[in-house]
Copies of this chain bind each other. A is one copy, B any other.
Amino acid sequence: MRFTSEQRLDEGVVEREFTLGEIPGTLWTPESAADPAPLILMAHNNGLPKADPRLVARARYTAARGYAVATIDAAGCGDRPRSAAHEQARADLRRAMQAGEPVDELFESLIGPLVENAVPEWRTTLDALLELPGVRGPVGYSGGWTALGIRLAVAEPRIAAAGFFAGGYVPRAQREEARQVTVPLLFLLQWDDEGNPRQRALDLFDAFGSKEKTLHANLGGHTGTPWFELEDGTRFFDRHLK
Question: By the criterion CB–CB under 8 Å, are A215 and B215 in contact?
Answer: yes
Most buried by B among A210, A218, A219, A239: A219
Q: A202-B202, A214-B217 are in contact. List 13 more A-B contacts (CB 8 A).
A: A205-B217, A212-B219, A212-B226, A214-B218, A214-B219, A215-B215, A215-B216, A216-B216, A217-B217, A228-B235, A228-B239, A231-B235, A232-B232
- Expressed in whole angstroms, the Cα–Cα distance for A219 and B231 within the complex equals 21
- Expressed in whole angstroms, the Cα–Cα distance for A231 and B231 within the complex equals 12
Q: How large is the interface on A (under 10, 10 to 19, 20 to 34, 35 or more residues)?
A: 20 to 34
Which residues on the B side are within 8 Å of A216 (C-beta)?
A: 214-216
Q: State the main secondary structure of chain A at its contact with B.
A: mixed
Which residues on the B side are within 8 Å of A210 (C-beta)?
A: 219
Q: Separation in Å of the A226 CB from the closest CB of chain B?
A: 7
- Tell me if A87 counts as interface (CB < 8 A to partner B): no
Which residues on the B side are within 8 Å of A191 (C-beta)?
A: 206, 215
Binding site for B on A (CB under 8 A): 191, 202, 205-206, 210-219, 226, 228, 231-232, 235, 239
In the complex, the chain B residue whose C-beta lies closest to that of A189 is B215
Question: Top 7 nearest A-B pairs by Cβ distance?
Answer: A215-B217, A213-B219, A214-B218, A216-B216, A214-B216, A211-B219, A212-B219
Which residues on the B side are within 8 Å of A214 (C-beta)?
A: 216-219, 226
Which residues on the B side are within 8 Å of A211 (C-beta)?
A: 219
- Expressed in whole angstroms, the Cα–Cα distance for A6 and B228 within the complex equals 37
In the complex, the chain B residue whose C-beta lies closest to that of A215 is B217
Which residues on the B side are within 8 Å of A231 (C-beta)?
A: 235
In the complex, the chain B residue whose C-beta lies closest to that of A217 is B215
Q: Separation in Å of the A234 CB from the closest CB of chain B?
A: 12
Which residues on the B side are within 8 Å of A205 (C-beta)?
A: 217
Most buried by B among A210, A215, A217, A226: A217
Which residues on the B side are within 8 Å of A217 (C-beta)?
A: 205, 214-215, 217
